[in-house]
Structure formats: structure tokens, C-alpha cells
């Protein structure tokens, strides 16, 4: 299973992000979505799971959960917008996906794969514009980051 990871679109869904995510089995948006149209556009590619970011406000955002725990092919994934909200206590899952910082990251901590897909929306400072991918095979998860050509 290949899951596309996107975060911090802030209302801007770049065509490069859509092209990069084409063909995934599912999409996870780690918050600061911007508006419901972003989720609708992503859903035209694959089923979408999303969490609300600190900038997601208004009636449309009320339906988006603050955090979410999902399981795909035996791999438990916890999704939230800001990793700092865990306060250092990692949940009993194999993968944690969070956005917020706009800084792409893949690292392992205490046996948990931590992934931040970075930001696919408006460029912040000199940070790259990125999406991520989570591959699940035989109960094992691996992640990667892809810089978009913008």
C-alpha cells in the first residue's frame, strides 16, 4: 500500500502536488488545510484522511478531527497537526504523522517512525515545497519525502 502524505497547504493545492500524489492508494493530510476544496480535490485522487491544523477554522473545519488513529495492513498510524502536542509521550503505534513546522522529516524514535511531509502550500522562508509517501508492506512501514519542482 502506498499512502501520499501532504500538509500545510494553507489553501494552495499546487498542480505539482496533485501530480506527485497521482496513483497512491490513500492520502493523509496533516493539517493547515485551508479550505474544504483542498480535501475535495485530493479525494479525486484517493480516499483522504485529514486532521485540523491550528489555522483551520470555520464551519467546514469543524468536521475535521483534531487527531486520528488509523490502521492499514496491520500498521497503526497516529495523525495530528503538531508533534509537540504529544509532549514527548509517543502513542502505542508504529507511525506518527504530523505537519505544522513546514520542515520535512523522517526519523525513528523509540521504535516509532515519525514523519512530517513538510509543506506543499505557500513557501515558508527558504524551506522546500514537499510531499511525503508512506509505504506499507507485510506489516512494515517506510517513508520518504519528495521535493516538488516549483
CATH 3.60.21.10 for the 2-147 domain, yes or no = yes
Q: How far apart are CA 101 and CA 116, in angstroms?
A: 8
* Residue 27 binned pLDDT confidence (cut-offs 50, 70, 90): very high
If you search the block for the grid coordinates 489555522, which residue do you land on? 55
Q: DSSP secondary-structure letter at 35? A: S
Residue with cell 509517543: 90
Mean pLDDT of the chain: 96
Is there a contact between 116 and 5 (Cβ–Cβ < 8 Å)?
A: no
pLDDT at residue number 125: 86
Q: In terms of C-beta distances under 8 Å and separation of at least 24 residues, what long-range contacts does 56-65 make, across chains too?
A: 56/31, 56/32, 60/35, 60/36, 61/33, 64/33, 64/39
DSSP codes joined into one string, 88-108: T---SSSEEE--SS---EEEE
Q: What is the pLDDT of residue 89?
A: 87
pLDDT of residue 150: 85
Which is nearest to 89 in space by CA: 116, 65, 112, 66?
A: 112
Residue 56 is predicted with a pLDDT of 98
Mean pLDDT, residues 42-62 taken together:
97
The string of pLDDT tens digits covering residues 76-123 is 999 999 999 998 788 999 999 999 999 999 999 999 999 999 999 999
Percent of the chain predicted with pLDDT > 70: 100
How many degrees, rounded to 5, is the angle at CA 73 between CA 31 and CA 30?
A: 5
pLDDT of residue 88: 78
Distance from C-alpha of 42 to C-alpha of 19, rounded to nearest angstrom:
11
**Domain range annotation of the chain:** 2-147
Q: What is the pTM of this model?
A: 0.96
Amino acid at each position: 500500500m502506498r499512502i501520499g502524505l501532504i500538509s500545510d497547504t494553507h489553501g494552495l493545492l499546487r498542480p505539482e502536488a496533485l501530480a506527485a500524489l497521482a496513483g497512491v492508494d490513500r492520502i493523509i493530510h496533516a493539517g493547515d488545510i485551508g479550505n474544504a476544496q483542498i480535501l475535495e480535490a485530493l479525494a479525486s485522487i484517493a480516499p483522504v484522511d485529514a486532521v485540523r491544523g491550528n489555522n483551520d477554522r470555520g464551519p467546514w473545519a469543524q468536521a475535521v478531527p483534531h487527531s486520528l488513529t488509523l490502521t492499514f495492513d496491520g500498521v497503526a498510524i497516529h495523525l495530528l497537526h503538531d508533534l509537540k502536542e504529544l509532549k514527548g509521550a509517543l502513542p502505542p503505534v508504529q507511525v506518527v504523522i504530523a505537519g505544522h513546522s513546514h520542515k520535512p522529516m523522517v526519523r525513528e524514535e523509540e521504535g516509532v517512525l515519525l514523519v512530517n511531509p513538510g509543506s506543499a502550500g505557500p513557501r515558508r522562508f527558504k524551506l522546500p515545497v514537499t510531499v511525503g509517501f508512506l509505504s506499507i508492506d507485510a506489516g512494515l512501514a517506510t517513508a520518504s519525502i519528495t521535493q516538488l519542482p516549483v
